[in-house]
A and B are shown apart, each in its own frame.
Chain A
Amino acid sequence: QLQLQESGSGQVKPSQTLSLTCAVSGGSISSGDFFWSWIRQPPGKALEWIGDIFQSVTTNYNPSLKSRVTISVDRSKNQFSLKLSSVTAADTAVYYCARGSSGYNALDYWGQGTLVTVSS
């Protein structure tokens, strides 16, 4: 059974860079045609798609975040990462990692989510 687990700093200061990692277990991040994705959800608000990476190379980002986002894969550690620069309080959210598949990039496996608070 595939499992995803987010980790990283739970608190980030304004203007700094948010960094999160998603560890994948029960399967290889290098196998299959999957999109490894990041999604976030501000407290009490809707889900927001951040971006994804395909076959460790091709990235797609939300246009509203594109200038600040980097998603990468570390095959040796079977994990992928999110970096979001120049954060503000508006970036406070639960951040989820997930796998997209089935040809429609449907997000079929999710991590439990991790709360990141932007505060000085």
Chain B
Amino acid sequence: DIQMTQSPSSLSASVGDRVTITCRSSQSISSYLNWYQQRPGKAPKLLIYGASNLQSGVSSRFSGSGSGTDFTLTISSLQPEDFATYYCQQTYSTGTFGQGTRVEFK
């Protein structure tokens, strides 16, 4: 089974900050890596698919990069609505999620 490890598990940031979340897979998954945002009590929302492709309708302040085993989600300038939990998911083999990264107000 492919394991996904996100870091950090939580972070504190301010509006306007540049935020980076990393996700590492236990084996190569090419670009089969997706990122989701989940606000409390809501269903997750797709942000990035295929490691670096911005989902339609998602703000361009979100970007993704990486391939193989190491991936990054970057929020260029954190906005109030971005305080949420972020998950990576590999779909190279089945569909494992990372454990999540909670982005909180500093």
- CB neighbours of B98 from chain A (8 A): 46
In the complex, residue of chain B having the shortest beta-carbon distance to the beta carbon of A107: B46
Given known contacts A104-B32, A107-B36, A111-B43, A46 and B87 CB-to-CB distance under 8 angstroms: yes
Q: How far is the CA of A111 from the CA of B34 in the complex (A)?
A: 18
Interface-central residue, B44, B55, B95, B98, by most chain A CB under 10 Å? B95
Given known contacts A100-B91, A105-B91, A47 and B46 CB-to-CB distance under 8 angstroms: no
Q: Is B31 a contact partner of A47 (Cβ separation < 8 A)?
A: no
Interface of A with B (CB < 8 Å)? 37, 39, 46-49, 51-52, 60-64, 96, 98, 100, 102-108, 110-113
In the complex, residue of chain A having the shortest beta-carbon distance to the beta carbon of B93: A60
The majority secondary structure among interface residues of chain A is strand
In the complex, residue of chain A having the shortest beta-carbon distance to the beta carbon of B46: A108
Q: Is B94 a contact partner of A113 (Cβ separation < 8 A)?
A: no
Residues of B22-48 whose CB lies within 8 A of A: 31-32, 34, 36, 38, 43-46
Q: Is B94 a contact partner of A106 (Cβ separation < 8 A)?
A: no
Q: Is B43 a contact partner of A104 (Cβ separation < 8 A)?
A: no
Task: Count CB-based A-B contacts (< 8 Å).
Answer: 69
Q: How far is the CA of A46 from the CA of B31 in the complex (A)?
A: 22
Given known contacts A49-B89, A104-B49, A108-B55, A96 and B96 CB-to-CB distance under 8 angstroms: no
- Residues 77-106 of chain B, each 1 if its beta carbon lies under 8 Å from chain A, else 0: 000000000010101001111111000000
Q: Is A106 a contact partner of B87 (Cβ separation < 8 A)?
A: no
Q: Is B100 a contact partner of A46 (Cβ separation < 8 A)?
A: yes
Q: How far is the CA of A39 from the CA of B91 in the complex (A)?
A: 13
Residue B50, interface by CB 8 Å: yes
